[in-house]
């Protein structure tokens, strides 16, 4: 099952990162979204990311131009009709994802792999929206996509072994390492990191300073980033959604911290709104 072309649905943080690393690995990529402004922001983010490599001397301007030339953009999902691998990176809303996969089922060629970048939603339920659940798989990238080496690959109950192995080979081909996970809420990464972030938020509620919590985890546990900094990076709304999704499956031990809910209600989502546990308006 050879993969030569990749179609990415969503030009946001995850989508443009997936498009970038795929194009860097030599794949022909099409990045789609529902508005021109989202596409423009996505391409600008890719160029900014590649510029960092040019400034560091790890990439030539000619290499950057070649990578960008491999990325086409579109507002029409029908352009996925000839793609070998489709990766959906839309917001974490189950009905939205199911609707996208139902559309893809009527658009894509029979041997195409349909992948979702969901961090916590069930692969089997998304696959059930299609008539080809054996072709559906989870390929969960981490943020920031160009930097983090690990990628979760999650087969649904009906995912074929050929699709699973082809997905792992794709992950390896872009210079990353696949980590196979079971199709349970949160898989491996979100299930473990969300409980850490949730407990860190409870530590704030107990009177600990966010900067002291993050410093302790960086210096005492050798974390590259503190759990509250990570929450701000991911977005409090994303963390709350993931925590609530996992709570629905695993019960009381996953009750979201009240402070997390309050922050989302107040719009203090982290970096994307300028304020979270830290103030980003002056940075």
Please state, in angstroms and rounded to a whole number, the distance separating the CA atoms of residues 13 and 143.
8
Cβ–Cβ < 8 Å for 16, 29: no
- SS3 label, residue 59: coil
Same domain, 162 and 223: no
Examine residue 282 and state whether it is found in any structural domain, yes or no.
no
Determine the structural domain holding residue 100 and report its residue range.
5-180
| Domain boundary residue, one of 137, 161, 180 | 180
Same domain, 124 and 86: yes
Same domain, 124 and 25: yes
Look up the pTM and report it. 0.88
Name the domain count of the chain.
2
- SS3 label, residue 226: coil
Q: Which residues contact 61 (CB under 8 A, 6 or more apart)?
A: 54
Query: How confident is the prediction along the chain (283 residues), in pLDDT tens digits per residue?
Result: 689 999 999 999 999 999 999 999 999 999 999 999 999 999 999 999 999 999 999 999 999 999 999 999 999 999 999 999 999 999 999 999 999 999 999 999 999 999 999 999 999 999 999 999 999 999 999 999 999 999 999 999 999 999 999 999 999 999 999 999 999 989 999 999 999 999 999 999 999 999 999 999 999 999 999 999 999 998 999 999 989 988 988 888 788 899 999 999 999 999 999 999 999 998 6
Same domain, 44 and 123: yes
Please state, in angstroms and rounded to a whole number, the distance separating the CA atoms of residues 136 and 123.
8
Backbone angles phi, psi at 4, to 5 degrees: -120, -30
């Amino acid at each position: 099952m050879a993969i030569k072309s990749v179609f990415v649905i969503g030009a946001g943080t995850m989508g443009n990162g997936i498009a970038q690393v795929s194009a860097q690995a030599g794949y022909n990529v099409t990045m789609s979204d529902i508005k021109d402004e989202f596409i423009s922001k996505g391409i600008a983010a890719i160029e900014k990311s590649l510029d960092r490599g040019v400034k560091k001397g790890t990439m030539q301007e000619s290499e950057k131009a070649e990578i960008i030339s491999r990325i086409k953009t579109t507002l029409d999902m029908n352009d996925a009709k000839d793609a070998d691998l489709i990766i959906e990176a839309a917001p974490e809303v189950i009905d939205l994802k199911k609707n996208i996969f139902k559309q893809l089922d009527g658009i894509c060629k029979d041997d195409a792999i349909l992948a979702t970048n969901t961090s916590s939603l069930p692969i089997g339920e998304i696959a059930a929206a299609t008539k080809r659940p054996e072709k559906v798989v989870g390929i969960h990238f981490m943020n920031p996509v160009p930097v983090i080496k690990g990628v979760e690959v999650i087969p649904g109950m009906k995912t074929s072994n050929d699709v699973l192995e082809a997905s792992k080979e794709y992950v390896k081909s872009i210079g990353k390492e696949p980590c196979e996970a079971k199709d349970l809420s949160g898989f491996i990464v979100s299930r473990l990191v969300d409980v850490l972030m949730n407990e860190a938020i409870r530590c704030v509620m107990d009177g600990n300073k966010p900067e002291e919590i993050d410093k302790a985890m960086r210096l005492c546990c050798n974390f590259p980033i503190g759990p509250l900094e990570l929450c701000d990076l991911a977005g409090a709304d994303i963390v709350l959604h993931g925590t609530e999704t996992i709570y629905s499956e695993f019960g009381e031990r996953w009750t979201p911290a009240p402070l997390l809910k309050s922050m989302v209600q107040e719009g203090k989502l982290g970096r994307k709104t300028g304020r979270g546990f830290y103030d980003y308006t002056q940075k």
